[in-house]
A and B are shown apart, each in its own frame.
Chain A
Amino acid sequence: MNERSTAHEDERALARRIAVLMRIGTSMAAVLLTIGVTLLGAGAQTPGRGLITAGCAVLVLLPVARLVQMASHYAHTDKVFMLVSLLVLALVVTGAVTGLGA
């Protein structure tokens, strides 16, 4: 197997791991949101709102987790793309902090 096809296989393996992360994350968010809405409808305001917040937080953190996963993968295979992953991560965090102050 040559270097190019090995890199391609590495990339496919990373894609599969990201797909698993996305499936687990969106399923978790859906469960948290559904239970939260049900509790809210039943009049349990505090736990209901807590679970809805948690569901939204899981979704918002999923792209961040994906960037961490990519940085970790590229740390072993391609240092340039590890740095690019970390740069995007830094920009996202800066954006969140900037938005908080806006």
Chain B
Amino acid sequence: MSLELFAILLVGSLAAGALGSALGMAGGIFVVPLLTLVAHVPFPAAVAVSLVSVIACSCASAPGFLAAGLTNLRLALVLEVFTALGALVGMLMIGLVPSTMLFGIFAAVLLVSAIQMIAGRREPVVTDTGASRHPRLDGVFRERDGLAVPYRVTRLSLGMTFMFGAGTLSALLGIGSGVLKIPAMDAAMRLPIKVSSATANLMIGVTACGAAAAYLLAGTLDLELAAPVVLGSLAGSLLGAQVLIRLAGPVLRVVFTVVLVALAIPMTANAFDLGWGVVA
């Protein structure tokens, strides 16, 4: 690998990790296009590297959320049953889905993420004042001013369904699947945004680790590509957690949306086999 490509992958992954962690996702949604469009890596090889980088982002961001008491550990475990099942199904589909279709699905994920980014995330309005349906999963977190905010877990079965889809997409596309996890936890389960971001972040690692372990054990993980991408993602996640959260606002949201749409264009072209930056 040339020094130039190493630097591009390191800096690109750093930016991906920083943006991803600042917005409560992993950076896989940027890493796969970086590898396929810039480094001309075949889609399956990009997925393998991206899965390890996604785990890196999840593990590096997790301590901050855990220390702040934002992660709902019990809920994460229950939902991980479904993301892990989905990932299992996704792994069974690897090799059956042609690369052009994977590019198409990826482009769709980018566009849906862009729409979510424009629409923004709103705190859910909880109207259910009756008895809790899942008291062992309910939780409480503290705002910065020390105010305790209790919350309930609702519509768990709908959340589980979304999580199954998220797991499948993660194994197939090498992403953290924030595109499904965010609506599942914000809109479907009506969890506070801080709790859903922290809990989804922790789940990403478990969702990705089965497929990543398979690539690593099979020797199909490209180590020369993985080193700069994973190092960049680790550094980016720490940066994102420390710096970008303070900057998160309308400008960052617009920049993020433009990048997502810009990436969706070549990915769509590849879905139609137009060979935009991809090796045959």
Contact = CB atoms under 8 A, between A and B. Distances in A.
Range, interface on chain A: 35 or more
Range, interface on chain B: 35 or more
Given A16-B66, A19-B66, A49-B223, A95 B59 contact: no
Contacts of B115: none
Given A30-B234, A37-B227, A22 B81 contact: no
Interface stretch (B50-58, B105-113, B178-186): B50-58
Interface stretch (B117-125, B205-213, B253-261, B263-271): B205-213
Interface string B211-234: 111111110010110111011001
Contacts of A78: 136
A75 interface: no
Nearest to A93: B210
Contacts of A25: 59
B81 A91 contact: yes
Interface of B: 52, 55-56, 58-60, 62-63, 66-67, 69, 71, 73-74, 77-78, 80-81, 84-85, 87-88, 91-92, 94-95, 136, 140, 171, 202, 205-206, 208-218, 221, 223-224, 226-228, 230-231, 234
Interface of A: 8, 11-12, 14-16, 18-20, 22-23, 25-26, 29-30, 33-34, 36-37, 40, 49, 52-53, 55-57, 59-64, 66-67, 70, 78, 81, 84-85, 87-88, 91-100, 102
